[in-house]
Each structure stands twice: as structure tokens, then as C-alpha cells.
Structure 1
Amino acid sequence: MRSEPDIVRELREAEKLGLLKGKTSLVYRDSSVLDDSGKGSDADVDSSFSSVDMFFEEPVDRDELFRVMVESTSDLIAITTFSLNPRYVYVSPSHEKVMGYKPEELIGKPAFDLVHPEDKKRLFSLAKRYISLKMKGLFGERNHEISERFEYRVRDKIGNWRYLESTANLVGNNIVFVSKDVTERKRFEHQLMDLKKRFEDVAFSSGDFIWEIDVSGRYTFVAGGVKEILGYTSDELVGKTPFDLMPRDEAKRVKRVFEEVVSEKKPIVNLENWNLTKDGRRVCLLTNGVPILDETGNLLGYRGVDKDITERKRMEEQLRDFLDNANDLIQSVDSEGRFVYVNKSWLRTLGYTLEEVKGLTVFDILRED
């Protein structure tokens, strides 16, 4: 069963609390459900309501009804004069809960007195423009010809600045403001902006290559020492893929690894890959990254860091070359005794080939005698 319309629920609550003068009967009609006479059916139906009829067994003060509806909302509703220095002529009770002011404390006071100085200039310019337009007769006789949405800061009773998101409507010679307190939302947005700024500061001062890619593998953000490492500017890399920077065979190898990682939404851990700089030099990068997921777990891309380990790789190659050509027999085994490295002298002296050594342990080659 679908829920009742908001207006129906609000009127029901007002009726239960005895806030409506006179005895009322609420009937809800759905034009999509017709009886034999062609009239809409009453009461509960599993569809949206198209109309609400209110039958008052006793006369109802419609001003009272309006007051109940306005005063029961959590929105801030205020009515001001329409001038360059608007003054409050009505303030809803919700202002006391949000702002700390009782309505009687604000009635007759200039509305701009509570507005932040930086925002006051903007609101004053809006008021000036509206008055100028009205004087030119661009609004005609109808109400609600102005409808403007904006954010601004106001000072609450204890002196704190609160953010309001307001809609202003011209009604006759008054302006009706309907506002929501969005202070917490703005605070959260500012925290996100601070974190983003902090991240960017770290990224741009880092000697590493910091990046983000989308789900198709194309760079969407590049910062840090990319210019020093690869010779490209950040703007030159945005839109490219990491594979565009690799030699062909290396791109094929790394792409296979990347596709496997992406298919399982796993992090990228210590992935070594060779790249070509803008001037054609080979550099080795150590890549680490984490997946970026939306609130439902869908993959949006990856965010990570590339470290230039070219010098380390060159030193490793020099060390390996030295060990390979040493006259001594050199071997390296893991914790289970399996060979992970033997040099040429070891193979030559013991008569094994490199393929034969793979998978063997030191115990496999020990002689019983």
C-alpha cells in the first residue's frame, strides 16, 4: 500500500492534535479508481492520490489552518518588506529552534542585520535588481513572479554563523523566504575541500608520481614528480593509459596483470613495470594502487602511486651480473630449502642446468655418502 501524500499526513496530525478548529472529515479520492457511477473511490487504495477533499462539519478558520501548517514545518519561513532594507513582518517559530531567536525578537528588525557582511553585498544587489525590475513593470500583477534560490550565512543568537539555503518569492509588497539550515552539509563540504587541498599539496610536493585512472584505465588525475620521472606534464598524461607509456611487450604483460586485478577489484601491490620517458629513456616504476568504489561497490577506477626504482633495478642487475660471473659457488634458498638462485659457477661445477634446478631443494642434491 503506498503512503499518503505529505499534505494528507500533515492534516491528519493537525487533526489528531486538535489544532484544527471545527470538526473535520478527510476523504481522499483517487481518480484512477472508479466505482460503477464513475466516481472516484474513497479510503485506502494502492495507488497515488489525485485529490484530497476536506469536509468541515463546522466552519474552519482558514487563516488558522495556514498557521498550523506553517508552524508545524521545520523549514524557516519569514516574510519581509520589499525594500533595500527589508524588515521582518513575520517569522515562523522554527527560527527559535534553529537560530535561537523568538519570533517577537525579530519582528520589525532589519533582515540584513543578521546576514554575514560578505553575503550582505550580494543580497543587497539582488534586492536592488528586483526593485528596479518591479519599477519597470516586468513583474505584472501576479504573485510569485520572483523565485530565486541562494545560499548565505546568518548569525544565530549565540553568535555563530549558520548557512541557510533559501528560496525567495515576491508576494505583493512582501518577500516570502523559505529556508533550510544547511550548516552541517556546508561543514562537511568544507572538510572535504580541506582534505582535497591537503592531498593535492602532498601530491604536488611529492617526488613520486601520483595518479588516478577511470574504469577504462585512462588517467583522470596526475600530480607529483611525473615531469621529473617521465618528462611529461600532468596535462599531457590525462586521457592516456599507463600502457601508452610502455614498450609493446611490457604493455601486453602489464595489461594482463592489470585486467586480472581489476576483475576482482583487488589492490595493485608492488607491480614493477618498465616505461619510456618522453625522450625515449627506459625507466622502471613500482606501482601500488587501491580501487575506487561507489556506494554500491561498483568500480570507478584506481588511485595510486608510482615510484621510480630505475636506479635500484640497475644496481640489482649489476649485483646479479657480479654474482653470475663470480668464481665462487653461490646459491640462495627460501625457508623450505628450495633454490631461488644459483650462479653459473654453481651450475658448471655441479653439472646441473638452470631448468633442472627449478623446484629442487638442497636436500635433493645431497649425497647420502
Structure 2
Amino acid sequence: MKKRGRDWAAAAACLLLAGGLGTVSLFVGSFPLSLSQIGSILTGGMEGTLEAQVFWQLRFPRMCMGLLAGWALGLAGGVYQTVFRNPLASPDLTGVASGASLGAACAIVLGAGTRLEIMGGSFLMGMAALALVLLLVGAARLERTGSYILAGVIVSSLAEAGLMTLKVMADPERELAAIEVWTMGSLSAMTADKLPLPAAAVVLCTVALLLLRRPILMLSLGDEQARSLGLDPVFWRGVLLTLTTLMVAAVVSVLGAVAFVGLIAPHIARLLLGRRGGPYLPLCGLVGGAVLLCADLPARVYTLPLSIFTVLLAVPVLAALLWRRKEGAYGDDA
């Protein structure tokens, strides 16, 4: 009963925080909107006005995408850290985010004209990065979970080299600026027409991952234990990583690579719950949404990339985790 009460309290706190940040974000921007104006827009009283267009075409989609992207990155990080049994596992450090960014950049340089083409390039390169990580681990015959992180660093470095090459090749007036957006992340170009495709991908993958919560928890016990319980670790790890890669690629194709959200959200969720059971995975998503919205508020005020502020938010969280590990308060598998 005590654990259940803590679960409900953590979930309620994160819901309120994410909802509050989402509400505040509707008011913040270069075009001012007052509370009375937003109320009138929501009730249909300002239909056809510039204020209504700004709200429905820019402000509201940006808030929704911030929540969706943060949810996807946080949930993906929770799955990665659970499946790999490593506190450093995240889309950033396993090569997926860098590969997805490289795919989006390749699509831009090759003249991709639609959001679907950019998302497809992002997904294909994200999957290629993941496949290369698995190939490196298999070739080295090292099944320890830390090997996946090392292989991810190698793949991320290759992807970064590819991005730098594309920057040199890109048209400085058009393509280079677009690639820079993807490498640092931004919601400034978010509009209503860009929302449906990534939203559909995130929702479908979220439903699938939550339904597959049992295999995720079984993989957290280790491959040998999972096999003894009748689970094929290789097959299920491939399924789970494919779903998380699709989610990450979907959001990267819209706002670019955002640093550290997928790394710190699971740690905050675990600190709130005290364990990885119960509503851990949904809480990772909620925390991720709150973190990204919190970073987007100063990003839109100062017109700076998202990753600047997600890094600033990550520093105290990671410092606190380091201190807790020093004191032995977080456990060996933290």
C-alpha cells in the first residue's frame, strides 16, 4: 500500500507539472496572447482572427510536440536503461539519436521535399545505427550490457563524422542552416501540419511498448534469467529497440537531436518511485515531457536551441546522481 501511494503521488505530481508547463507555454512567445484571448479562442469566439491562427497553427502544436517529443525520449530512455541494465543507456549514448540525425541531414542534402521523406531517412539511419551497434557487440562476443554503450559511442562518433562531412557539402544558405537545427534541436519551426505523422508514430509505439512491459522487465533480469523464463532475449530486444528507434526517429525528424532528455528522465522517474516497477515507464515519459517543455520556455524567449537548456537541466540531475552513488544511496545498478 505504501508503494502504491508513492506511485500515485509521483504520477500526480508529474501530470500536474507537465500540464502546468504546457499551459504556461501557450502564453509564451513573440506574439502575446492573454488568458482572455485564449479562453475566447478555445470557445470559438475569435475564429478567423490572427490570434486564433497563431494559437492553432503555431502555439498549440508546439506545446503538443514538446510533450510528445519529451514523452518519446523519456520512454525510450527508460526502455533502454531497463533492457540494457545500464544507467547510461539512452538514445544519445547508443548511437540511435546520432544516426537518426544523420539520416535527416542526408535527406535534406539529397533534396527531400516532404516530412515523410525526412522521417523515413531518420528512421532508416537510426535503425542502421542500432544494427551496427548490435553487430559490433556480436562480433566482439561481449554480451555484457556495458559493451552496448561502448559500441554506441563508436557508432555515434561515426555519425558525427558523417554530419560534419554533410555540413561541408551542404549549401551554406539553405541546407547548412537546416542541418544545424537538427544537430541542436528546436521547436521554433513547428506547425500544425507537422504534428500528425510523428504523433501517430509515438502513440502507436507507446501502446506497443506498454503492452510489452512484461518482456521489458524480464530482460532487465539478464539474458540467462530471461531464457529460463521462456523468453528469447535476442528477438525481444530487437522488437523493443525497433519500437523505440521508430519513436526517436519520429521526433528527431521534426525537432532534431535533443541532448540528455532520454538520459535524465528515467533517473528522475526512478528517484521519484524508488524502483523500476509499477508505473516506471509511463513516468519516464511524463518526466521527459516536463523536462522538454521546461527547456522550451527559455528557448523560445531567447530564440536559442533546445539542447542548450536540456544540458543545463541535466547537469544538476547528473551531479545529484553522482553524489548519491558516492553515498551508496542509489544502488549498484543505478
Structure 1 and Structure 2 fold alike (TM over 0.5)? no
Higher relative contact order (CA 8 A, sep 6+): 2
Larger Rg: 1
Choose between structure 1 and 2: higher helix proportion.
2
